[in-house]
Structure 1
């Protein structure tokens, strides 16, 4: 593939954005042209040859911007290779086992014939916004559970598939 890959994401506090940037960086290292953009800022996907969509998980659902992006662009997404990723578990579970996509993401994957999905650990820092985030932090459940080695390996597999 010689075209451009879009890596887009929905995030509240930036953790998913960092994962998206890591994915984009790995794809670039493998010789692909990549653009990274917030899902709410993508006007169209027709100029991209492949798309990676990520969303932070909140109460068992993908971030609203990721859901809206997939719904708005579903017809064009169905015409190109698509991968999904989720971020969110605030524990080591995502590094210990494969966590399947949540129901809404699973449905979108089936509809779009997505090529894959990965769930990565999330990150909730002391400066996170929102009432719920503050409660989680107050309970001692915050921290950074992102595994960037796993993110890199997953992105490298996407690059290999796109280059074949």
Structure 2
């Protein structure tokens, strides 16, 4: 039976949701059964064989919904394969080098025994919510720095790992 995978995300302007959608689509194409949900709407993680959690970065922290998700479901997250992704740098740095998780994410990874983390470039464009976000865009510092090829490659690695484990069991 194919592994069910929860892909949960925290986002304000929707660009992290689009990354999560790309991850879920790759998992689906590889033969897994992904559910894509905003982190704040997840009632129970126990039905899932694995979990991917992502969040936009806001002033060096994950979105509140993603942080609460980890706290609310931590006991069960620690019992299954778990990966994290962050999105946020508004430049090409995430495509050029590995950007380590921010402090709070690093602590959650250790506490929940997450298998990995990756930081993808972010996206902040005209119409962004929030005074600071609007100021960033107005000052010409916004743009779309997401690399969907890298996102799809990372999701395929997760799928391959889960499928290999599935075959072994």
Aligned counterparts of 2:156 and 2:127: Cα–Cα separation in 1: 31
Deviations 1:11-70 (A, max 9, x none): 000000000000000011101011000000000100000000001000000011100000
- Residues 77-116 of structure 1: matches in 2 within 5 Å? 77-116=77-116
Q: CA deviation at 1:139?
A: 1.1
| 1:45 has 2:45 as partner | yes
SS in 1 for 2:31: coil
Where structure 2 has 5 or more consecutive residues not aligned to the other structure, the ranges are 165-169
Deviations 1:106-133 (A, max 9, x none): 0000011100000000000101111001
Aligned counterparts of 1:97 and 1:40: Cα–Cα separation in 2: 30
* 4+ aligned runs moved over 2 Å, structure 1: none
How many residue pairs align between the two structures?
164
Structure 2 counterpart of 1:26 = 26
Q: CA deviation at 1:2?
A: 2.1
* RMSD (CA atoms): 0.7
Structure 2 counterpart of 1:61 = 61
SS in 2 for 1:74: helix
TM-score (norm: length of structure 1): 0.99
Where structure 1 has 5 or more consecutive residues not aligned to the other structure, the ranges are none
Deviations 1:72-122 (A, max 9, x none): 000000110000000000000000000000000000000111000000000
Aligned counterparts of 2:64 and 2:122: Cα–Cα separation in 1: 17
Aligned counterparts of 2:41 and 2:16: Cα–Cα separation in 1: 15
Structure 1 counterpart of 2:10 = 10
TM-score (norm: length of structure 2): 0.96
Q: CA deviation at 1:3?
A: 2.6
Structure 1 counterpart of 2:167 = none
